[in-house]
Amino acid sequence: MDKTLNSGTESLCMDRGHFMLFFLLGSVAALAVFFPLGAKRRAWIPLLGWWLFLIPGAILVFYGLSHSTTPSFATPVTAVGKAYDHFERKRGRDTSYGFRFVPDGGPPIIIETEIILPHWNTPAIFDGQVFRIVYLNDNERALKNEAIDIAILSGKSMGFHDSLDARPVGKWLAIPIGAALATFGFVGLRYMDKDAKAAAQDDDDQPSS
């Protein structure tokens, strides 16, 4: 994604509700593996091993969160036209953006997106720029007509391009996978001392031959 002309403001793109759901799925899967392993088996994993679960897992979670939006089966629609009247909307702790889009040869539509656009708060620059957008024609989503790919083709911000992955099998999967790895590593670090003591106690309790 080319963000070189962005305003410098970055956001975590997926809405909080879906992020928490996907993170929880991964965490539950990790715990379903962690506890059945038992203290004796877990005690064999060294400190570095737990960190090698935690750190890559956290990186995957952040990658999935910042590069994807809520997955959808809706057919993407591509259109070229002019953008006007940018607005910002808050839903609880989530912030989304939108603008009036006038496609070539078609009626105006309201586009919503989680992509932060350059000069969004300067109408003299923003209004009238030519955009090429890909949006989801799905009014059941929290964001109506959500733009998942935006390229600016004219004006001061010409050359800007940003996109989010909304494929049903896409980058959002990094969230539950990363959550599983990170949770496994985090809980493993928390249980290291306890597992070592339990494993040592188990060895002491074994009858000597």
Nearest to 61 by CA among 163, 185, 189: 185
Asked if 82 and 153 sit in the same domain, the reply is yes
- Residue 58 CA, distance from chain mean position: 12
Residues 156 and 196 in one domain: no
pLDDT tens digits along 143-161: 889 999 999 999 999 999 9
Give me the pLDDT at residue 25, please. Answer: 97
Q: Are residues 124 and 86 in the same domain?
A: yes
- The answer on 157 and 182 residing in a single domain is no
Question: Are residues 118 and 157 both part of a single domain?
Answer: yes
Query: Is 5 among the domain residues?
Result: no
Tally of structural domains, the chain? 2
Highest mean pLDDT (candidates 16-25, 50-59, 192-201): 50-59
Share of the chain above pLDDT 70, in %: 90
* Domain span including residue 122: 76-163
In this predicted model, which residue has the larger pLDDT, 81 or 200?
81
Answer yes or no: do 121 and 56 share one domain: no
Q: What is the 3-state secondary structure (H, E, C) of the chain?
A: CCCCCCCCCCCCCCCHHHHHHHHHHHHHHHHHHHHHHHHHHHCCCCHHHHHHHHHHHHHHHHHHHHHECCCCCCCEEEEEEEEEEEEEEEECCEEEEEEEEEECCCCCEEEEECCCCCCCCCHHHHCCEEEEEEEECCCCCCCCCEEEEEEECCCCCCCCEEECECCCCCHHHHHHHHHHHHHHHHHHHHHHHHHHHHHHHHHHHCCCC
Mean pLDDT of the chain: 89
Q: 90 and 157: one domain?
A: yes
139 pLDDT band, cuts 50/70/90, is confident
What pLDDT is attached to residue 86? 95
Residue 115 has pLDDT above 90, yes or no: yes
Residue 95's CATH number: 2.40.50.140
**What does the pLDDT read at residue 2?**
46
**Same domain assignment for residues 64 and 94:** no
- In this structure, the answer to whether residues 114 and 131 fall within a common structural domain is yes
- Say what percent of the chain tops pLDDT 90: 75
